[in-house]
Amino acid sequence: VAAKVLDGARTVCAEAGIPLAGGHTIENPEPVFGLAVTGEVEIKNLKQNSTAIAGCSLFLTKPLGVGILTTAQKLGKIEDNDLRPAIETMLLLNKAGEDFGKLPYVRAMTDITGFGLLGHLGEMIDGSNLSAEIIFSKIPVLPNLEKYITQNCMPGATTRNWSGYWQGIEGIEVNSLAILCDPQTSGGLLVAVENGFEEKFKAEARKSGLELEAIGKLVARETVRIRVE
């Protein structure tokens, strides 16, 4: 099994165009495996999560819901045809970020991981001194999430996330909380695109096989940090 894991890592690293080198082992009660990535980037192509401007449209490159479906798997409630899309999205590399970094109208970018969409969006708006308006129906999600939300298949981190950053967020309901605070494993990129460049950005995304639509926009700082419509 360990050999297969290493073979998988080598395959993915080759797809990313990087070598796999070095490593070490640790003692742990359960099997774990991870990679630390080092490299260089041209400063002009370096994107931060704190440099967005008002008027930017927000794009999300992967659907949400990985945490819900993997929790359903752990609880023995998942159906095979529902789990497969989660696996496929986790296997998808965020290589598009390298290309997005070269676009001057991409004003800020971050990835969605353990804090969920609201957590990482919150870091972006707080760092940029802005607020955000997002449209829940526009957010891409994995299939059949509601079925598992009603069965309470939510990671413990979901409620911990919400309790950590709920202040200043309006428009949240049970389903939207479960999805927008869902911790993502191998989540997608959240990209802030300067107003007027949305179509150019979508065309660039298609070159990476991504069909994207805006999920909301950034506005001047208000009392409400994030409004969910």
Residue ranges of alpha helices (H) inside 43-194 are: 66-74, 80-91, 96-100, 116-128, 145-149, 156-165, 174-180
Dihedral sign of CA atoms 112, 116, 118, 124 in order: negative
The whole-number pLDDT of residue 26 equals: 86
pLDDT at 172 exceeding the cut of 90 = yes
Average pLDDT of the residues of the chain: 95
The whole-number pLDDT of residue 163 equals: 95
User: How large is the average pLDDT for residues 7-12?
Assistant: 92
User: How large is the average pLDDT for residues 201-219?
Assistant: 97
- 209 within 8 A of 95, measured Cβ to Cβ: no
Rg, Å, the chain Cα set = 18
User: How large is the average pLDDT for residues 119-128?
Assistant: 97
Do β-strands 226-228 and 130-134 pair in parallel, antiparallel, or remain unpaired?
parallel
Dist CA 21 CA 44 (whole Å): 28
